[in-house]
Structure 1
Amino acid sequence: MKFYQSFTSLSTLAAQLVSIAAAAPLDLEKRDVYTPPVLYPHSGTVWKVGARHNVTWDISDPPVNITNKVGQIWLRKGEIEWIQNGTLASNFSILAGRVEVTVPDTEPANDYSVVLYGDSTNWSQMFTIID
């Protein structure tokens, strides 16, 4: 008898959950992933440690409903190595199209890129950082 009562309770709960789900609005606002291409820095760019630069990206064709409009910019070295404490900028509008950053004290190399985060990621071409 206890099994039957438990089964009945679970069946009732399941039916209630289905009715709640069915009552939920089906007209949910569609969100789009926005990955604007990074324009600067680009191949051939040279940054000096301590200098300030504007990282720029193309905002000419944003979707109407962007999933996350808050951006971050990180520094990346090579294909997979992320720079520790590599956040160059954060909490800016992805629709701004540019943000000023300070080049961190890092080893000179010609295989750096910046990564633009919003609701997705897009990175720049590789560029050089010097002392």
Structure 2
Amino acid sequence: MMSAMKTLFALFFFTILFTVSNAIPVSLEQRDVYVPPITCPTAYTVWNKGEVHNVTWDVSDPPAQITNKIGRIQLREGGLTTPLILADGFDILLGRIEVTVPWVITANDYQLVLFGDSGNFSPEFTINGSPL
């Protein structure tokens, strides 16, 4: 019985020691969240389904260390980001990527979301798709 208690105590002690040692913060290289503003499309942009357009963003002042340099562009409609991916896997420092305008219901409340470190939105613009 005493041997079992010693084993249980030792197991408990090492579990606590392991937990505490893993909780000690590790010094990591400091990185910055990069949110380059989208410059195109603008609020005056009108796209038509099936067209190919450039999406552009300002990369003139990136930080030295970016947390995530891999970009993705998704369509946002009526305040909600849709699962529709227009471009993915590109270097966020490119500043431009071509996308094909998807088939949508005509509306003027579309936005693009540029993901990398974070998501930032374009102004709302119009996509001419198909009427209901």
Residues 37 and 18 of structure 1: is their aligned pair in 2 closer, same or farther, counting only changes over 3 Å? Answer: same
What is aligned with 1:52? 52
TM-score between the two structures when normalised by the length of structure 1 = 0.85
RMSD of Structure 2 on Structure 1 (CA):
2.1
Q: 1:87 to 1:21 in 2, by over 3 A?
A: closer
Runs of 4+ off more than 3 Å: 12-22
Among 6, 9, 16, the residue aligned to 1:7: 9
Give 1:94's aligned residue. 92
State the match for 1:120 in structure 2: 118
- Residues 71-118 of structure 1: CA distance to partner in whole angstroms, max 9, x if unpaired? 010111111252x5x111111000000100010111110000000011
User: Measured at CA, do residues 17 and 109 of structure 1 come closer, stay the same or move farther in structure 2, by a change above 3 Å?
Assistant: closer
What is the deviation of 1:7?
A: 1.4
Secondary structure of 1:122 counterpart: strand
What 5-or-longer segments of structure 2 have no aligned partner? none
| Number of aligned residue pairs | 127
> Counterpart in 1 of 2:63?
63
What percentage of residue pairs aligned between the two structures are identical? 50
C-alpha distance after superposition, 1:20-64 (max 9, x if no partner): 776x8x442112111111111010110011111100011111111
Q: Aligned equivalents of 1:30 and 1:94: distance in 2?
A: 19
Flag the 1:19–1:50 CA change in 2: closer, same or farther, 3 A: closer
Q: Which runs of 5+ in 1 are unaligned?
A: none
TM-score, normalised to structure 2's length?
A: 0.85
